[in-house]
Amino acid sequence: MTTTLEPRDIQAPARPKTSANNIAALIVGIALVVGGAWSISELGINFATIANSFDNAVNFVGRMFPLDFPPVGETIGLILETLAIVFLSTLLAVVLSIPVALMSARPTSSSKTAQLTGRALTVLARAIPDLVLAIVFLRMFGLGATAGILAMGIHSVGMIAKLYADAIEELDDGPRESIESAGGTRRQQVWASIPQVLLPQMIATALHRFDINLRTSVLLGYVGVGGIGLAISESLRVLDYQRGMALALIVLALCIVIEMISGATRAAIMRGSGGSVQGGTWVDRALNKDRQTGANDVVLTPPWSKNRLNRFGVVVLLIVLTIWAFWEVNIDGKALATGLLNLPQTLGLFFPPSTGGALDTMLEQLVVTIQIALAATLIGAVIAIPVGVLAARNVVSNKYVHQFFRGFIVVVRGIPELILAIIFVVISGLGGVAGTLALSVGAVGLLSKLVADSLEETDVEVQEAIRTAGATGPQVFFSATVRQAAPAFIAHTMYLLDTNIRSATLLGVVGAGGIGFLLLNASRINQFDVVTMILILMVAVVLVVEGISMWLRKTIR
């Protein structure tokens, strides 16, 4: 007997109930968009302002040319010094991040208290800007590379340790549990089950951070750290735009080259991480050197395969680069020891915090900093999303189109935001307009790449299923591709806002508006207690934004 179902007998699936969290997330999202639009209006960013700056732009270009490049020997020296500082700071960050990540990750943490402590250290390292750390270390060790290496290295722990810890928690915990059940110690569990799987991701993350630290090194030159950044600050301080912009062009070329090299290296590393690494490394022998072996025990010695030779070559290269970098920056061991011994006295200069009688000005400039970040995020998102869409290979079939926009993204990402801020300050004058425009351009480079990557990571099978059902290209894009990537879009935009708040603070050192200008002035006149108060205000805002961002990401998943 066959039962025929009438249309009225088929019940449509019930729509999922809208939760209070989803409603709250929508309200917060709308509030952020409105806040961005309000900030654009309050800062006076409009077509008239940009048009009125056209004459200044023409004059600035006229004062730039002809570009005055330093002699070849001096240029190479500046590049090598900058790369050495960035390399050592990144290496320091990786070395510090590994124990912090192991402490923070649930599978490798010894206790809940240790896990919370590790996460707190990660958040604290991210919240304190590297510029503030550089000011502290410059006071301790004097002008030079040491302060920059320590500042960028410690600040980078906030990003690297978090990504390492998250990667550890996403691993299959089965291998570690097997070793634990066999009687292995915690150290054996960690070394035997984690490094071989995570090593490619660890290297890829370190390379990405190297890119970021290269751009940051330019900013730290404004407070006395060596390298190209210091040379740029000295040139622009005397309004020598021909030399300053020539150096900026060198930085741009260097950033693009490093971005392309590290991007290709990361891609090669991740492609080569699919196979398993055979056991029997020096780590295994070190951990089992005290174990009694019996007649039936089998000792595995790995052959010198191509993979093992590659790993050995990487280790040798890192050792050589480390020796070269220390030789290049010429760190003064005596000054380092003296600075460490004087640490209590140095910290005493920063505490207790003080407003210096300028609390109203601080709060006013803090609001300007938030306005710059909101406005730049909104402007950047409006431009970056279509650029990211056109750069996605699974959305735009024409390879010339998506390759062009991928190249455009690489070029834009290669321009340090500090250089953009300097240019816009000269063109549009001191204040929030310059900072907003600089961060907007930087936002296009960052967010468009994240958008393109998110679109390319969507499930192609879902899109093909809709396409075979007769859907047009736009229908497939909006109903399948965008719907899958929408949560990532929101998460990336919140990450951009978080980044822009930190960057808006730092760009204030060149007059691009916000509380950063007060921070630099306080450090120059040795009001270090005021520096601490400004830092507290900045960290409070960053933590609030980070909390909102984490809640939104969790809600929209």
Between CA 247 and CA 259 the distance in angstroms is 18
The token pair that represents 366 in the structure block: 């803090």
Quick: pLDDT tens for 6-34.
444 444 444 445 567 778 777 888 888 89
Between CA 295 and CA 315 the distance in angstroms is 34
Average pLDDT of every residue of the chain: 78
Instruction: Pinpoint the residues of the chain covered by CATH 1.10.3720.10.
Output: 23-52+359-557, 66-284+306-345
- Owner of token pair 């600089």: 438
Do the Cβ atoms of 379 and 550 come closer than 8 Å? no
Q: What percent of the chain has pLDDT over 70?
A: 78
Quick: pLDDT tens for 507-551.
877 777 788 888 888 888 888 888 889 888 888 888 888 788 777
Choose the weakest-confidence range: 270-284, 366-380, 386-400, 493-507: 270-284
Instruction: Please name the residues in contact with 133: beta carbons below 8 A apart, sequence gap of 6 or more.
Output: 150, 151, 154, 155
The token pair that represents 100 in the structure block: 């912090």
SS3 category, 263: helix
Do the Cβ atoms of 498 and 129 come closer than 8 Å? no
Instruction: Please name the residues in contact with 468: beta carbons below 8 A apart, sequence gap of 6 or more.
Output: none
Task: Compute the 3-state secondary structure of the chain and give helix, strand, coil in percent, each to the nearest 5.
Answer: 80, 0, 20
Q: Cis ω on the peptide bond leading into residue 66 (within 30° of 0)?
A: yes
Quick: pLDDT tens for 30-55.
888 898 899 988 888 877 777 777 77
Quick: pLDDT tens for 459-511.
666 666 776 766 666 666 666 676 777 777 777 788 788 888 888 887 877 77
Between CA 84 and CA 75 the distance in angstroms is 14
Residue 333: predicted pLDDT: 76
pLDDT at 323 over 60: yes
Choose the weakest-confidence range: 348-357, 375-384, 409-418: 409-418
Residue 85: predicted pLDDT: 92
- Owner of token pair 């007060």: 518
Longest dimension (CA), the chain: 95
In CATH terms, 66-284+306-345 corresponds, of 3.90.1530.10, 3.40.50.1360, 1.10.3720.10, 1.20.1530.20, to 1.10.3720.10
SS3 category, 80: helix
Residue range 23-52+359-557, CATH number: 1.10.3720.10
SS3 category, 112: helix
3-class SS string, 159-199: HHHHHHHHHHHHCCCHHHHHHHHCCCCHHHHHHHHCHHHHH
